[in-house]
Amino acid sequence: MTIPSVKIPLADPAAQFRALREEMLAAAERVLASGRYSLGPEVEAFEEEWARRCHATHSVGVGSGTDALHLALLAAGVGPGDEVITVPFTFVATAAAILYTGARPVFVDVEPDSLTMDAGKLEAAITERTRAVVPVHLYGHVADMDPIVEIARRRGLRVIEDAAQAHGALYQGRPAGSLGDAACFSFYPGKNLGACGEAGAVVTSDSGIADTVRALRDWGQQGERYEHAVPGFNSRMDNLQAALLRVKLRHLDRWTEQRRRNAALMSEKLEGAPVRTPVAAPWAYHVYHVYAVRSASRDQIRSALAAAGIQSAVHYPLPIHLQPAYRSLGYGPGSFPVAEQAAREVLSLPIAPEISPSQIERVAETVRAALETNGGAHA
């Protein structure tokens, strides 16, 4: 058996370095020579730039997107005995962060087109223990925030956006990061805005939340050093990562446009093929962190792509409520049928900014050919 080399990757963070080599090396050198490595002036500058970019007052740099969720939930007052409502069709970190606070994740199903929280199912999941709602802007497509926020306000709940996949995404023209009480971003290398290591941020216009996250990320210190108001954590953003993120931030809009162009071309080239291509809801400016098609013949498409050296992935093959680690929550198969069906059908195709139109065409042709050899099995 031969394993073909990857010719078209899903993501290529090293390509960004090749394109921005001089700027990134200069930024790294500046930080290395400064001796300021943990927090520091680059972190402060990035926080200001990122907050402005998200139309929010504050951004607090932390160690990862997971930490951003954990600390934002704590700052919103979530703790043991509480329930936090989110979706089962997301990366596992969303639910893990809720568990870290001592609260219990409660799931509502996603809606079949955007695969984000079904706002129509939210109210029925609220109990007297519910404290917060965490909609996930999956794949770079914002959740339908107006009805979610309206229900949350009426029922006295906090709204924390999981915006880890949604840098620059818009809801009715307003950016992810400005749509709830706080928003959590990840700058993991493969994200639309990625560091060269781990990093994350909590974005908010609530100064109470911002102050608390600032204290929590640095051992609960608020004013005086070695004075600890609360136990806190070690989750400071690296000055080096902030400097590199500032370089990349200047290119985010261009990369997003390239992603959107690649996604549009892919959908055009797949027109008429028996796969369901992603569509953005009228409220969404989709930033295509992931371009996922849906097909009952997903695995067959996947092997054809692999044989052609085209990378693909399944985000995500098992919804969280069916993961062994979350079985004790008491959900079973059939609890969230839309999420479960999506998990069986989704397949992420390469649309990264660096991928050329001819490569997109090759991916689409390979998908089509895989489905034709199938004797016409349909999505």
Task: Give the binding site for ligand PLP (CB under 6 A).
Answer: 64-66, 90-91, 93-94, 136, 162, 164-165, 186, 188, 200
Identify whether the C-beta of residue 61 lies closer than 8 Å to the C-beta of residue 242. yes
Shortest separation between residue 64's beta carbon and ligand PLP, angstroms = 4
Shortest separation between residue 112's beta carbon and ligand PLP, angstroms = 19
CA–CA gap between residue 236 and residue 170 (Å, rounded): 28
Shortest separation between residue 166's beta carbon and ligand PLP, angstroms = 9
Q: Between 58 and 315, name the residue whose CB sits nearer to ligand PLP.
A: 315
Shortest separation between residue 184's beta carbon and ligand PLP, angstroms = 7
Shortest separation between residue 67's beta carbon and ligand PLP, angstroms = 7
- Fill in the amino acid letter for 100: Y
Q: Between 320 and 363, name the residue whose CB sits nearer to ligand PLP.
A: 320
CA–CA gap between residue 161 and residue 124 (Å, rounded): 20
Cis peptide leading into 316, omega within 30 of 0?
yes
Shortest separation between residue 262's beta carbon and ligand PLP, angstroms = 20
Count the neighbouring beta carbons within 10 Å of the beta carbon of residue 313.
Answer: 16
Q: Between 65 and 350, name the residue whose CB sits nearer to ligand PLP.
A: 65
Classify residue 136 by its DSSP letter. Answer: B
Shortest separation between residue 91's beta carbon and ligand PLP, angstroms = 4
Q: Between 65 and 175, name the residue whose CB sits nearer to ligand PLP.
A: 65
Residue 293, classed as helix, strand or coil, is strand
Identify whether the C-beta of residue 312 lies closer than 8 Å to the C-beta of residue 10. yes
| Tokens at 201, concatenated | 């941020």
With CB atoms as reference, the residue minimizing the distance to ligand PLP is 65
Counting other chains too, the contacts that 45-50 makes at CB distance below 8 Å and 24 or more residues apart are: 45/242, 45/246, 46/237, 46/242, 46/243, 46/245, 46/246, 46/249, 47/201, 47/242, 49/246, 49/249, 50/185, 50/201, 50/203, 50/245, 50/249
Q: Between 164 and 266, name the residue whose CB sits nearer to ligand PLP.
A: 164
Q: Between 200 and 232, name the residue whose CB sits nearer to ligand PLP.
A: 200
Identify whether the C-beta of residue 292 lies closer than 8 Å to the C-beta of residue 264. no
Query: Residues 6 or more apart from 96 whose CB is under 8 A from it?
Result: 66
Q: Between 66 and 312, name the residue whose CB sits nearer to ligand PLP.
A: 66
